[in-house]
């Protein structure tokens, strides 16, 4: 429970086309066993950071400086082969859209057991046994049937459960969860958040939780990094950041959230001069 | 405040079930099972439900965009349940729709000016082009949209700007009733706050009756007077927002409210389950 599993420092990236800055000197650490929220509105760079960790940055994005240390090794500098091994085996992704993340032409069984057969050298029967256990862990009631199913035969919530099972299959050290509940209904979202939290604490996994929703952050993240225009605006323990926000942007973002518990507050648009000031700082 | 502008009684909507080629017929799927809903003048009514609850179908039925199998719909005292499209046309200006996805509802090949001006001329709310143009400029100023947006294509604008243009286009027609279908679901909270505040001001200034469809009860709480909670094509609970949030009667409503994650520390939230949650 001590020491950082992931440590990003001075990470900068530009768009290859027009050299426009995408990330600027981003620093971020994820401690062992913690969930770190990576929060921002669209264009803040939160997904870019997730992609940089997984090594799936689009070609149009060029990293200009910085390091991404995973257990002390720089993911940006290691040989591609080593990196593929780490990202397959020790770093996993829970993607945003359960509709497109699964191959529509393959049954769940194959998709769920690929990693187990490749990295654990299991045969079909052994992998299947583990897959059934994983589906049970994500509270899928009829795992046999789900293994035989094609993705379109499952609901959105079921597909997301399958993807969570796949992410935990190899018992990774770090999971990047990229807006995993954005496409789901609120009641399903709550079940999925609970599931990720429970599995994470049972397995001792560290999680980077990418989201735009400060409500979700409050409920699931131990610590938060808030981004605006590719820069870290504020970071800290979740409780501190929500109760005593230091940066005016953090306060403004909290004031913009609708609050059913306090109808008198909330829904305040972020002041335009604040946005303009942050933009000009980012461009400088 | 008491006059019901729109009143739908026991409406049912079914899809499919038509006789197909070679005479094979399929069982119709009922999307709404007898829903009753009313919207008064100057009132904003929320319709909330999860995917598949029938909320979008209900909205479309209210505007007569899908036909109802049974029940009745009255608008401004007139029964419109079975009006022909031709006889609906004079009412169309008065009943407007703001779409969920402004990118899909604004013609990508038209500049914004044409998108804004054409409906005003079609419905005769502007005397001529110059009049329409000056009305457009006035509302752009009010919505803090730069006037140069008029010469842009939809893809050149940000999502928030497109959404405000969708609202402006409808506001310029001075409708009596507006249906807003999930209009802020794809937006960042900051742009969402801006769009919702505009809508609130607008409904107050124009005395609009509005039906606001959303899956997000927090947003509904922020802008609606009353709310209908829909599940599987039925209204499970309705009432004033303040009452329903203070004491939801139906367990499904309670589950929906409790499932909203709030940006405050609540150590029990993840563990807390409701009856409906367990059943799901």
Residues B186, B167 share a domain: no
Residues B250, B237 share a domain: yes
Spatial separation of the C-alpha atoms in residues B53 and B267, rounded to whole Å: 30
A220 chain-B contacts, CB cut-off 8 A: 270
- The reported pLDDT for the residue numbered B19 is 62
Report the alpha-carbon angle B228-B233-B239, nearest 5.
15
Domain ranges, residue B149:
101-174
Task: Work out the pLDDT band at B277, boundaries 50, 70, 90.
Answer: low
- The reported pLDDT for the residue numbered A117 is 93
Inter-chain CB proximity B270 and A259 less than 8 Å:
no
Average pLDDT of the segment spanning A114-130? 94
The domain boundary, picked from B152, B174, B196, lies at B174
Number of domains in chain A: 2
Residue B65 is given by DSSP the state S
- The reported pLDDT for the residue numbered B280 is 45
Residues A195, A80 share a domain: yes
Give alpha helix (H) positions in B22-178.
55-62, 85-92, 102-105, 112-122, 129-142, 159-171
Q: Nearest Cα to B8, choosing from B42, B29, B32?
A: B32
* Residue A40 counted as domain residue: yes
The domain boundary, picked from A122, A146, A169, lies at A169
* Residue A237 counted as domain residue: yes
Whether residue B265 has pLDDT greater than 50: yes
Task: Note which residues in 85-114 of chain B have CB less than 8 A from chain A.
Answer: none
The domain boundary, picked from A153, A169, A185, lies at A169
* Residue A192 counted as domain residue: yes
Spatial separation of the C-alpha atoms in residues A234 and A224, rounded to whole Å: 8
Residues B184, B61 share a domain: yes
For residue A36, the distance in angstroms to the closest alpha carbon of chain B comes to: 15
Q: Give the tens place of pLDDT for each residue, B145-155.
A: 999 999 999 99
Could you tell me if B6 and B207 are in contact, meaning their C-beta atoms sit under 8 angstroms apart? no
Residue B217: CATH number of its domain: 3.40.50.300
Is the minimum CB–CB distance between A270 and chain B shorter than 8 Å?
yes
Is the minimum CB–CB distance between B245 and chain A shorter than 8 Å?
yes
Q: Nearest Cα to B178, choosing from B187, B169, B189?
A: B169
Residues A200, A70 share a domain: yes
Q: Listing from the earlier edge strand, what are the strands of the sheet with A61-70? A: A21-31, A4-15, A61-70, A73-74
* Residue B31 counted as domain residue: no
* Predicted ipTM beyond 0.90: no
* Residue B83 counted as domain residue: no
* Residue B249 counted as domain residue: yes
Residues B235, B184 share a domain: yes
Torsion of CA B218, B222, B223, B224, to 10 degrees: 70
Domain ranges, residue A28:
4-90+175-246
A200 chain-B contacts, CB cut-off 8 A: none
> Which of A218, A219, A260 lies nearest to residue B245, judging by beta carbons?
A260
- The reported pLDDT for the residue numbered B1 is 44
Residue A37: CATH number of its domain: 3.40.50.300
Could you tell me if B157 and B149 are in contact, meaning their C-beta atoms sit under 8 angstroms apart? yes
Inter-chain CB proximity B215 and A185 less than 8 Å:
yes
Whether residue B20 has pLDDT greater than 70: no
* Residue B224 counted as domain residue: yes
Residues A143, A11 share a domain: no
Spatial separation of the C-alpha atoms in residues A275 and B191, rounded to whole Å: 12
Name the least confident of A239-253, B137-151, B182-196, B199-213. B182-196
> Which of A188, A243, A269 lies nearest to residue B190, judging by beta carbons?
A269
> Which of B193, B262, B265 lies nearest to residue A239, judging by beta carbons?
B265
* Residue A206 counted as domain residue: yes
Give strand pairing partners of A94: A177
Residues B280, B194 share a domain: yes
Give first-to-last CA distance, chain A, whole Å.
Answer: 39
Is the minimum CB–CB distance between B159 and chain A shorter than 8 Å?
yes
Inter-chain CB proximity A260 and B189 less than 8 Å:
no
Inter-chain CB proximity B218 and A259 less than 8 Å:
yes
Whether residue B279 has pLDDT greater than 50: no
Give alpha helix (H) positions in A72-137.
80-89, 108-120, 124-137
Residues A76, A201 share a domain: yes
Report the alpha-carbon angle A53-A196-A29, nearest 5.
35
Is the minimum CB–CB distance between A243 and chain B shorter than 8 Å?
yes
Inter-chain CB proximity B196 and A186 less than 8 Å:
no
Chain B residue closest in CA terms to A253: B190
* Residue A269 counted as domain residue: no
Residue that wins the pLDDT comparison between B3 and B64: B64
Residues B183, B264 share a domain: yes
* Residue B9 counted as domain residue: no
Cβ atoms within 10 Å, residue A224: 25
Average pLDDT of the segment spanning A115-139? 94
A233 chain-B contacts, CB cut-off 8 A: none
Q: Give the tens place of pLDDT for each residue, A175-199.
A: 999 999 988 889 999 999 999 999 9
* Residue A201 counted as domain residue: yes
Q: Nearest Cα to B181, choosing from B46, B4, B26?
A: B46
How large is the greatest C-alpha to C-alpha distance in chain A, in angstroms?
Answer: 61
The domain boundary, picked from B174, B194, B216, lies at B174
* Residue B73 counted as domain residue: no
Residues A156, A106 share a domain: yes
User: How high does pLDDT run on average in chain A?
Assistant: 93
- The reported pLDDT for the residue numbered B273 is 80
* Residue B13 counted as domain residue: no
The domain boundary, picked from B174, B193, B223, lies at B174
Inter-chain CB proximity B261 and A185 less than 8 Å:
no
Number of domains in chain B: 2
The domain boundary, picked from A169, A196, A218, lies at A169
Spatial separation of the C-alpha atoms in residues A199 and A215, rounded to whole Å: 20
A256 chain-B contacts, CB cut-off 8 A: 189-190, 192-193
A217 chain-B contacts, CB cut-off 8 A: 263
Residues B236, B147 share a domain: no
pTM: 0.90
Residues B187, B126 share a domain: no
Inter-chain CB proximity B261 and A187 less than 8 Å:
no
Residues B279, B187 share a domain: yes
Inter-chain CB proximity A269 and B215 less than 8 Å:
no
Spatial separation of the C-alpha atoms in residues B58 and B65, rounded to whole Å: 10
Task: Note which residues in 168-207 of chain A have CB less than 8 A from chain B.
Answer: 185-191, 193-194, 197
* Residue B26 counted as domain residue: no
Whether residue A35 has pLDDT greater than 50: yes
Residues B272, B187 share a domain: yes
């Amino acid at each position: 429970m001590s020491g950082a599993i992931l440590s990003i420092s001075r990470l900068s990236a530009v768009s290859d086309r027009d050299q426009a800055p995408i990330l600027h000197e981003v620093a971020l650490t994820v401690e062992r066993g913690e969930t770190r929220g990576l929060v921002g509105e669209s264009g803040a760079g939160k997904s870019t950071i997730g992609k940089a960790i997984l090594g799936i940055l689009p070609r149009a994005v060029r990293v200009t400086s910085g390091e991404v240390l995973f257990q002390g090794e720089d993911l940006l500098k290691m040989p591609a082969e080593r990196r593929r091994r780490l990202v397959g085996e020790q770093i996993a992704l829970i993607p945003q859209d359960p509709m497109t993340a699964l191959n529509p032409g393959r049954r769940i069984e194959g998709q769920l057991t690929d990693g187990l057969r490749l990295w654990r050298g299991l045969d079909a029967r052994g992998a299947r046994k583990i897959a059934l256990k994983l589906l049970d862990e994500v509270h899928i009631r009829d795992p046999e049937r789900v293994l035989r199913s094609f993705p379109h035969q499952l609901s959105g919530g079921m597909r997301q459960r399958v993807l969570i099972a796949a992410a935990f299959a190899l018992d990774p050290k770090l999971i990047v969860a990229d807006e995993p509940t954005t496409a789901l209904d609120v009641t399903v979202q709550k079940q999925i958040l609970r599931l990720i939290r429970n599995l994470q604490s049972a397995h001792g996994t560290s999680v980077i939780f990418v989201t735009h929703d400060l409500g979700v952050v409050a409920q699931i993240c131990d610590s938060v990094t808030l981004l605006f225009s590719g820069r870290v605006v504020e970071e800290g323990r979740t409780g501190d950041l929500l109760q005593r926000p230091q940066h005016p942007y953090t306060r403004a973002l909290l004031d913009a959230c609708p609050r059913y518990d306090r109808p008198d507050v909330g829904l305040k648009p972020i002041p335009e001069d604040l946005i303009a000031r942050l933009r000009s700082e980012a461009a400088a | 405040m008491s006059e019901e502008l729109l009143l739908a009684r026991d409406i049912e909507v079914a899809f499919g079930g038509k006789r197909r080629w070679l005479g094979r017929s399929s069982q119709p799927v009922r999307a709404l099972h007898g829903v009753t809903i009313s919207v008064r003048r100057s009132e904003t009514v929320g319709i909330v439900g999860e995917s598949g609850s029938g909320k979008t179908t209900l909205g479309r039925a209210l505007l007569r965009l899908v036909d109802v199998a049974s029940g009745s719909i009255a608008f401004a005292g007139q029964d419109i349940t079975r009006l022909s499209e031709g006889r609906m046309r004079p009412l169309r200006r008065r009943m407007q729709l703001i779409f969920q996805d402004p990118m899909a509802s604004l013609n990508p090949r038209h500049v914004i000016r044409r998108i804004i001006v054409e409906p005003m001329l079609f419905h005769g709310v502007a005397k001529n082009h110059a009049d329409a143009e000056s009305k457009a400029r006035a509302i752009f100023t009010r919505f803090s949209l730069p006037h140069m947006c008029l010469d842009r294509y939809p893809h050149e604008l940000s999502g928030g700007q497109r959404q405000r243009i969708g609202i402006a286009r409808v506001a310029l027609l001075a409708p009596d009733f507006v249906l807003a279908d999930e209009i802020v679901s794809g937006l960042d909270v900051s742009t969402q706050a801006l769009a919702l505040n505009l809508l609130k001001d607008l409904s107050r200034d124009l005395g609009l009756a509005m039906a606001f469809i959303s899956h997000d009860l927090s947003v509904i709480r922020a802008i609606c007077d009353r709310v209908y909670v829909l599940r599987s094509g039925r209204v499970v609970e309705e009432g004033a927002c303040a009452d329903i949030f203070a004491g939801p009667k139906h367990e499904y409503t309670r589950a929906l409210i409790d499932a909203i994650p709030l940006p405050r520390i609540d150590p029990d939230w993840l563990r807390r389950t409701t009856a409906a949650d367990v059943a799901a």
